[in-house]
C-alpha cells in the first residue's frame, strides 16, 4: 500500500483517507466536512485548464479544494479508474 498526498491525485482516482495533517487552520474543518481516516474519497472533477482546484466526493459530500489544501490529506490508492461514485 503506497501512501501519497491527495495533492497528486488525478480525476477518476478513488482512494482511502489515511491521515489528515494536524496543526493547520483547516485540519479540524476537513474533519468536520467528513474527511476522516478510513473514508473512501473520489476525485470527481478537476478545474478546467490548470487542473486546480479539484472536487472530491467524500461519502456523498462534494468538496472543492485547491491542491495546496489537498496537501493536508494523505491517501492510499484504491483504484485509479473505477466507478466515479462511492456513495
| 40, three cell numbers | 473512501
Closest contact distance (angstroms) between CB of 56 and other proteins is: 10
Q: State which residue, 2 or 68, has the beta carbon closest to other proteins.
A: 68
Chain residues in the site for other proteins (CB under 8 A): 22, 25-34, 36, 44-50, 52-53, 55, 57, 59-66, 69, 84-85, 87
Contact present, 43 and 8 (Cβ < 8 Å): no
Closest contact distance (angstroms) between CB of 5 and other proteins is: 16
Amino acid at each position: 500500500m503506497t501512501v501519497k498526498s491527495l495533492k497528486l491525485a488525478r480525476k477518476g482516482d478513488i482512494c482511502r483517507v489515511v491521515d489528515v495533517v494536524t496543526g493547520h487552520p483547516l485540519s479540524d474543518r476537513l474533519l468536520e466536512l467528513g474527511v476522516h481516516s478510513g473514508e473512501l474519497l473520489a476525485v470527481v472533477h478537476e478545474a478546467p485548464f490548470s487542473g486546480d482546484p479539484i472536487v472530491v466526493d467524500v461519502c456523498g459530500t462534494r468538496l472543492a479544494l485547491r491542491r495546496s489544501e489537498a496537501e493536508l490529506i494523505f491517501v492510499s490508492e484504491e483504484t485509479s479508474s473505477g466507478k466515479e461514485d462511492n456513495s
